[in-house]
Structure 1
């Protein structure tokens, strides 16, 4: 558990020592009760249990349902208000290039009149980068607890943009492989990336209307000076959502193109097999006919009968080969 105290309007921040883990909640409660005028607290938790949140729940006025969502995670992106506390669920994600996988986590942000609480699940920790950005932009910190939500949203949306760029690079590589002369079966790779992009969409898509509500003019719960910052995040999120949808549609097209090429390869193979079968059918007919061992057959006792039969078979096979070659079957 970490706690930082900010002074609104001054951009100042001081780290609070929470002490031993079993006393951390009580220590934070003490600092919350001692907040001065124009100060707010940002408490950061990493994969807490319901018991660890119990001490903070009553003091902060957290709704039991929101606490349950924060502990269990696996929530879709959403924003809900419980009295004077706003709860926002975000999905964090990052792209692992070596495995071509999108890994996801979750961050729950609670905003109250004098506090911000972030609960993280997963490896990605946007709170650390968000704190660095708040330290670098004192004017943003003057917005109060809303500044924490903006900073976390900004970091998360930037990670979406970065992950989308890496997914597009992987998609471009697959496109080149699909239309290359080689006959590599890429169906599994394309389907795997398609599944990762769908997971990406599940993180980005539901968040768009949530952030749009934050910049809804007079209905916005933030100070008017904060609206341009939230609009900037909303624009970046909209671009990321458009990019992910584009990637999803392109993957459908790439998969269709690959399956079409596989069908073309199969047709080419069948034509080759059919062409060679027709070529070998000519000598098969001759040998089968003369292999019936009838006593009275033409040219059986003729000196040039055998060379003539071999020559006819060779000439017929050569003529068929040339015809199939000219038609593109071989």
Structure 2
């Protein structure tokens, strides 16, 4: 799908464009969402570009993601998708700056794109060129990552209270659920860090010395976004360390609980071993055993078994092993 955004009365108005149609001359932003090969060829011919394929967008080499070809800048960044769903993910998005126009190519619908497009259609803002639209989109993406990291921080605080602050009478902690929640926060944090790293590289590529310099206002805007990205990257690293600590602590609690269970079985085995030995001895029924003809033999054997069980239990109690 091809959507062209044209500045009209101070706002960006969207227009659907068919491959057989015409892209407006005063277009500021062209958005390609899951384009067909026919739509890609149409945009390439109109703008004189070589739009990368979906497979090429997946490349992890920096040289394959950030490069200049003729008068166009090709920049691919990783953007988080579905962070509010049970299956969060990430998807590459390519930004192409050519002739003060912005072309975006994506195969997913990240929330920042919908938010930015809705805001640009409703409110008058300075989106006269593709550079301004790019700055607005990157700012929306970074804001979204910040919101996700804030949510991860809140989830970590909740998990920390559940794990380490146990009130009397509280239900037993479900370690399987805790591990699943820790895994989800770790996945979100990892995806956020990956997205921030790719955006930081993109911003460095824009700010590199080149023949065509950006206006000072744009440079300051991109530098502000770059500082936000650096701060969020540090915060994401801090959260990742906290998550690893909580994972280690949870596994330690699981091991402690398992050790307690094993200790109970070990004590029970030691307590019942002497009575078992005594019962085995007196269960052999040899003819020459003197207790067989003794009237108090049976109660004597029972008392001996009870005593052999009580003494180890009492000993463990005094040593504090129970």
Fold-level similarity (TM above 0.5)? yes
- Cα offset for 1:23? 2.5
State the match for 2:3 in structure 1. Answer: 2
Q: Distance in 2 between matches of 1:17 and 1:274?
A: 75
CA contact (8 A) 1:45 1:118 kept: yes
- Name the CA shift for 1:205/1:114 in 2 (closer, same or farther; >3 Å): closer
1:82 aligns with 2:69: yes
Q: Distance in 1 between matches of 2:92 and 2:215?
A: 27
| 1:296 counterpart SS class | coil
State the match for 2:169 in structure 1. Answer: none
**Uncovered stretches (5+) of structure 2, i.e. residues with no partner:** 167-171
**Uncovered stretches (5+) of structure 1, i.e. residues with no partner:** none
State the match for 1:288 in structure 2. Answer: 280
- Name the CA shift for 1:235/1:260 in 2 (closer, same or farther; >3 Å): same
Q: Distance in 2 between matches of 1:276 and 1:176?
A: 34
Q: Distance in 2 between matches of 1:98 and 1:13?
A: 32
TM-score by length of 1: 0.79
State the match for 1:43 in structure 2. Answer: 30
Q: Distance in 1 between matches of 2:85 and 2:116?
A: 27
CA contact (8 A) 2:3 2:30 kept: yes
Which of 101, 105, 130 is equivalent to 1:145?
130
CA contact (8 A) 1:95 1:163 kept: no
Which of 243, 248, 257 is equivalent to 2:249?
257
- Cα offset for 1:175? 3.8
State the match for 1:309 in structure 2. Answer: 301
| 2:88 counterpart SS class | strand
- Name the CA shift for 1:255/1:273 in 2 (closer, same or farther; >3 Å): same
Q: Distance in 2 between matches of 1:128 and 1:188?
A: 30
Which of 200, 203, 213 is equivalent to 2:195?
203
CA contact (8 A) 1:190 1:255 kept: yes
Q: In the TM superposition, what are the counterparts of 1:221-260 in structure 2 within 5 Å?
A: 221-260=213-252
Size of the alignment, in residue pairs?
310
- Name the CA shift for 1:219/1:212 in 2 (closer, same or farther; >3 Å): farther
Q: In the TM superposition, what are the counterparts of 1:90-105 in structure 2 within 5 Å?
A: 90-94=77-81, 96-97=83-84, 99=86, 101-105=87-91
CA deviations 1:25-77 (Å, max 9, x no partner) are xx10xx22xx4xxxx52212211123202122133231x3xx12468643558
Q: In the TM superposition, what are the counterparts of 1:7-26 in structure 2 within 5 Å?
A: 12-13=10-11, 15=13, 17-18=15-16, 21-24=18-21
- Cα offset for 1:129? 2.8
Q: In the TM superposition, what are the counterparts of 1:146-161 in structure 2 within 5 Å?
A: 146-161=131-146
Q: Distance in 1 between matches of 2:255 and 2:211?
A: 56
CA contact (8 A) 1:48 1:71 kept: no
TM-align CA RMSD = 3.1
CA contact (8 A) 1:2 1:44 kept: yes
Q: Distance in 2 between matches of 1:50 and 1:72?
A: 14
- Cα offset for 1:225? 1.5
